[in-house]
Amino acid sequence: MSIPRKKFIAGNFKMNTTSSEVASYLEAFRVATEKVNDVDIVLIPPFTSLAKASEILGGAQKIRLGAQNMSSEAKGAYTGEISASMLRDLFVRYVLVGHSERRRLFGETDEMVRRKLVTALKSELRPILCIGETLEERQSNQEKTVLESQLRAAIEGLSPEEISEIVIAYEPVWAIGTGLTATPEQAQQAHLFIRDYLGKLSGTSVANRSRILYGGSVTPDTAVELLSQPDIDGALVGGASLDPRAFAKIVAAAIPQE
Ligand code: PGA
């Protein structure tokens, strides 16, 4: 029998929400999620709002913080970069690694993604590793090759213990911010493929325990069906996470059904 995986819902605010705006967001979001247990909730505001969010949340276990990016270097002359220890200092627990916007708009290569992932693991930050194919890659039936190569480049050679710290987010690039969600069947297929491949790289027990999130235009309306797929363990939400009430509805869709 496989162990049930606790659902994981993360909100990636991208370049939205100032430090003063995060306070009112949290007030509304905390009220709207008051009754939720049994779901891991992670908010990923911009760097400049993390300190404020951390101060407001205090040691609360229920809502954790994540960062959108991080340097692969520990410290030094890297103007404009933010290190893992700076994030840890603000009680940040998670970090997005390899988001498609970083890969596409800021030239992050598989190798850079790998370095960041390793640094995060060494620094006790849990990476949320994003992988996903573009529209052209899907149209030319290359999605599996792309998922395999992104995943292999990021985690091959890591120990099973390290791999089990990683949350994976399947984010088809064509579905991000476009309003085009993968159908639940398309997403389930990709998730199952990722889990099988993860099994090849790290063993089935790690693969069965690993959480694989879906990301790409998730809304309160699409969340229920997506989250009821057997291999979809949560969601990485962009646009719809900016409204605390809409995001709370997505969180509610992840509450385990009796
Ligand atoms: P979206 O973004 O929900 O706005 O499509 C998802 C993401 O980029 O993580």
Indicate the pTM of the whole model: 0.96
Q: Say how far apart CA 119 and CA 104 lie, in whole Å.
A: 21
| The pLDDT value given to residue 179 | 86
Report the run of H or E that residue 67 belongs to, with start and end.
strand 63-67
The answer to whether the CB of 66 is under 6 A from ligand 1 is: no
What is the DSSP-derived secondary structure letter of residue 35? T
Q: Structurally, how many domains does the chain consist of?
A: 1
Q: What is the CATH number of the domain that holds 56?
A: 3.20.20.70
Ligand 1 mean position, distance from CA 39 (Å): 20
Query: pLDDT averaged over the chain?
Result: 96
Contact 219, 246 (CB under 8 A): yes
Element (H, E) at 169: strand 167-170
Is residue 176 lining ligand 1, measured as CB closer than 6 Å?
Answer: yes
Task: Give the single-character DSSP code of 214.
Answer: E
In a domain, 146, yes or no: yes
> What is the Å distance from ligand 1's center to 12 Cα?
7
| 99 tagged catalytic | yes
CB atoms within 10 A of CB 50: 25
Place of tokens 């891991």: 40
Query: Would residue 184 count as lying in a domain?
Result: yes
Report if residue 121 sits inside a domain.
yes
pLDDT in tens, 206-231: 999 999 999 999 999 999 999 999 99
- Residues 50-95: tens digit of each pLDDT: 999 999 999 777 999 999 999 999 999 999 999 999 999 999 999 9
Domain span holding position 95? 7-253
Let me know if residue 1 belongs to a domain.
Answer: no
* Assigned domain for 131 exists: yes
Amino acid 200: pLDDT: 95
Catalytic residue among 27, 99, 101, 185: 99
Cα 232 to Cα 2, 4, 224, 258, distances in angstroms: 14, 12, 11, 18
